[in-house]
Structure 1
Amino acid sequence: MPKYITFDAYGTLLTWTLEHAVEQILGDRIKQIDWEAFQNEWHVARWNDILIEYRPYETMMRRCFGNMLRKYGVDFTEEDCDAMIANITNWEPFPDVPPVLRKLREYCKIVIISNSEDRFIEKNIEKIGVPFDDFVTAEQARAYKPAHKVFNYTLKKLGCDKSEIVHCAQGFEFDIIPAHELGWKAVWINRGGNPGDKAYGPYDELPDLTGLPGLLGI
């Protein structure tokens, strides 16, 4: 049984509804663009941004969102960006998350590792409704996953060895690949039913958190 179970937050514990929120924010303006192409390109742009250098999460998200809207010729205001950022703290936990976390924390310490900022994660934890023993953010590590710096910072902050941790996440590129590279035990929470890659194994795979206690012998 691990001493620590670490979790990615967005898409693993909390629903990722950013694109849906932006649809509501843009309203009729969305009709003038290829929305599917916009979403795909925005995803790639966010990925590229975090690989370049560290910027605060809100700064990065605002910059990337604004750049994409300008590229697609969509008129927008700072209020649109404000609404997009505000939505981050409104994401709800998946239904399986609170009961599983309550059970796990009876036996292990639970920790979030997120590409976010402290103030957002604090609000996200309130939404989950289960106390965490600690959390690590990009703001603290001054880097974004998949950078190894985030995982090494986590070990230093928790004062533990990687052998004492099991990391659980839905982001294959952000979490499972770096976990493999660093020799961390990992559980891929494959909520989307996506194809994996055993070249980055060994890792366990679950469709949600429901089977996690049994997998860990709890």
Structure 2
Amino acid sequence: MTRWATFDCFGTLVDWRHGIATGIELLFPGRGAELLEVYNRFEPQVQAEQPARRYREVLAESLRRTAAEAGLDLVPDDASVLGTGLPYWPVFADVRPALAGLRDAGWRLALLTNCDRDLIGETQRRLVVPIDAIVTAEDVGSYKPGHAHFSRFAESFDATRENWVHVAQSHFHDMVPAQALGIPRVWVNRHADPHDPAIADAVRPGLDDLVATVERVHAAR
């Protein structure tokens, strides 16, 4: 039986917070960390308003709203800074060893990502470890925490709770829908978020012991 470990990408494998804050810093020096928290409020709203909107435009529109709330003058063309920089956002140091370890243990790897195909293609090269399947927001016409990513993956690869573990950092985007769908799940709580840990089958601060964690969750399904 093929065993699948699926991942959210940005926030789980790639440092999304660093990428957003650094992009904002390029335009508004000294304001990146502050405006990251404002941006973080707007992005889910933008995604929910127009679920079929491409992620490049989600990034741009969320940045426009962030600048407007902060009373900052955003040059129109500068709204593209986040989409332009995304392929260079850093991969967390624990990611490549963890993914390689899962492959060595016989797991196939997939990404379920709130992103466009071209952007995840650029990011995938930086992961280095081969990825076997990808489902994007562009593919399904919606964003997590909607269920379409998970449903498309299950239908396309005959994935069920018997052969599937989902791994992600976002409680809102990933743990909540995975629980609702009965998918075994590992919450990678990189930022010590105070959300209910009982929603996950395992909670880890990073990916250092990912193989053992995924194997344990899979065995207890």
2:27 aligns with one of 25, 35, 41 = 25
Residues 217 and 66 of structure 1: CA distance in aligned 2, closer, same or farther (over 3 Å): closer
What whole-Å deviation, never above 9, does each CA across 1:124-176 have from its counterpart, x for those lacking one?
A: 11111111001111010111000012211121222322432100000001100
Residues 216 and 63 of structure 1: CA distance in aligned 2, closer, same or farther (over 3 Å): closer
Residues 83 and 5 of structure 1: CA distance in aligned 2, closer, same or farther (over 3 Å): same
- Per the alignment, residue 60 of structure 1 pairs with 58
Structure 2 residue ranges without an equivalent (≥5): 217-221
Larger deviation: 77-86 or 9-18?
Answer: 77-86
Q: CA deviation at 1:77?
A: 1.8
Q: 1:119, 1:181 → 2: CA distance?
A: 30
What whole-Å deviation, never above 9, does each CA across 1:56-88 have from its counterpart, x for those lacking one?
A: 111121122112223333122234223222111
- Given that 1:155 and 1:162 are in contact with CA atoms closer than 8 Å, whether structure 2 keeps it comes out as no
- Per the alignment, residue 5 of structure 1 pairs with 5
SS where residue 24 of structure 2 aligns? Answer: helix
Larger deviation: 40-49 or 88-97?
Answer: 40-49
1:118 and 2:117 are equivalent in the alignment: yes
Structure with more contact order per residue of length (Cα contacts < 8 Å, sep ≥ 6): 1
* TM-score when normalising by structure 2: 0.88
SS where residue 146 of structure 1 aligns? Answer: coil
Q: 2:204, 2:212 → 1: CA distance?
A: 11
Residues 196 and 70 of structure 1: CA distance in aligned 2, closer, same or farther (over 3 Å): closer
Alignment size in residue pairs = 212
Residues 94 and 170 of structure 1: CA distance in aligned 2, closer, same or farther (over 3 Å): same
Report the residue type matching 2:193 in the other structure.
N
Larger deviation: 139-148 or 52-61?
Answer: 52-61
Report the residue type matching 2:204 in the other structure.
L
% identical aligned pairs: 26
- Per the alignment, residue 129 of structure 1 pairs with 128
Question: What pairs with 1:83-102 in structure 2 (closer than 5 Å)?
Answer: 83-102=81-100
Q: CA deviation at 1:24?
A: 2.4
- Per the alignment, residue 210 of structure 2 pairs with 212
CA RMSD of aligned residues (A): 2.1
